[in-house]
Amino acid sequence: MTDFSGWMAAIQARTESALARFLPSADMAPTRLHEAMRYSVLGGGKRVRPLLCHAAGEIFGLAPDDLDAPACAAELIHAYSLVHDDLPCMDDDVLRRGKPTCHVEFDEATALLVGDALQTLAFQVLAEHGGTPPMLALLAHAAGSRGMAGGQAIDLGAVGKTLSVEELEFMHIHKTGALIRAAVLLGAHAGGADGDARADLARFAGRAGLLFQVVDDILDAEASTATLGKTAGKDAVQNKPTYVSLLGIAEAKRKAAELRAEAKQALERFGARGARLSDLTDYIAERSF
């Protein structure tokens, strides 16, 4: 078993290649749309969802080759959501992964279509590369109005409001948690995990997803735009409720530590086979960008 940072670099590199292969070539018509799709997906991103999908699938003995499609499907849904989230009618952001956002680099109508077509591509990749109807339904449920898109809608309604911590968690369980859960469970499904294993992985993913968000809120409050590659301090400027604004920075960090421990506990049944997911939990907790 290679060390974690070597494994992570290898999965990130193969995800980049697989995405480049799944995305239509930039010289295929309509070229501007395809160029903008590739611009928005390639050459950046931590690839957290693909890492989670590979780590979960490896528990059940799957080779990386078998996991590229579900891993990329989850990443394409994530990439589409970022492009739409950055649009003027949503967060109106100009910087993403250290580059101008899609609608700034291209134009708003193109960015709308880029997001639309990336979502479609996610389902196409999964359907054409071994995804079963239950896997496709799982991804759709996670992405849709009772998952990620629903979380965005709850987020829209929350700007300027005082939320309770419970309401904030409800939002994040949808907005980021649902797709993180789907990434883990797609790997488990692909590997033929049984119901008990899937239940533990769902519990793991629930904690890991919230951990990811709490850390995001801490980073937004503490880190610089240069480090993040996206605009820092936006939550406060936009008066968005965050774990930091509700709990304060110290309590948010305590919450992160608790979620990290609970996520690891959920992996107990897998013993050494759960090491990658455990290491990933540490990576999510300790990341600085």
Residue ranges in contact with its own copies by CB under 8 A: 24, 28-30, 32-34, 37, 80, 84, 87, 89-90, 107-110, 112-113, 115-117, 119-121, 123-124, 127-128, 131-134, 136-137, 139-141, 143-146, 149-150, 152-154, 156-157
Q: Give the residue with the Cβ less far from its own copies, 95 or 154.
A: 154
Give 277's contacts (C-beta < 8 A, 6+ positions apart).
52, 55, 56, 59, 184, 204, 208, 267, 270
Find the shortest distance in angstroms from Cβ 113 to its own copies.
Answer: 5
Find the shortest distance in angstroms from Cβ 274 to its own copies.
Answer: 29
Encoded tokens for 71: 């891993």
Q: Give the residue with the Cβ less far from its own copies, 188 or 228.
A: 188
Q: Give the residue with the Cβ less far from its own copies, 109 or 226.
A: 109
Find the shortest distance in angstroms from Cβ 188 to its own copies.
Answer: 17
Find the shortest distance in angstroms from Cβ 129 to its own copies.
Answer: 9
Residue 238, H or E segment: none
If you write DSSP's letter for every residue of 99-139 in order, what string do you get? EE-HHHHS-HHHHHHHHHHHHHHHHHHHHHTT--HHHHHHH
For 5, counting Cβ atoms within 10 Å of its Cβ (0-12 exposed, 13-18 middle, 19+ buried), the class is exposed
Q: Give the residue with the Cβ less far from its own copies, 133 or 195.
A: 133
Q: How far apart are CA 263 and CA 181, in angstroms?
A: 12
Cβ–Cβ < 8 Å for 228, 237: no
Sign of CA dihedral 257, 259, 263, 265: positive
Q: Give the residue with the Cβ less far from its own copies, 117 or 208.
A: 117
Q: Give the residue with the Cβ less far from its own copies, 146 or 161.
A: 146
CA 163 from centre of chain: 23
Find the shortest distance in angstroms from Cβ 220 to its own copies.
Answer: 20
Q: Nearest-CA neighbor of 229 among 93, 119, 125?
A: 93
Q: Give the residue with the Cβ less far from its own copies, 137 or 199.
A: 137
Find the shortest distance in angstroms from Cβ 116 to its own copies.
Answer: 5
For 77, counting Cβ atoms within 10 Å of its Cβ (0-12 exposed, 13-18 middle, 19+ buried), the class is buried
Find the shortest distance in angstroms from Cβ 87 to its own copies.
Answer: 7
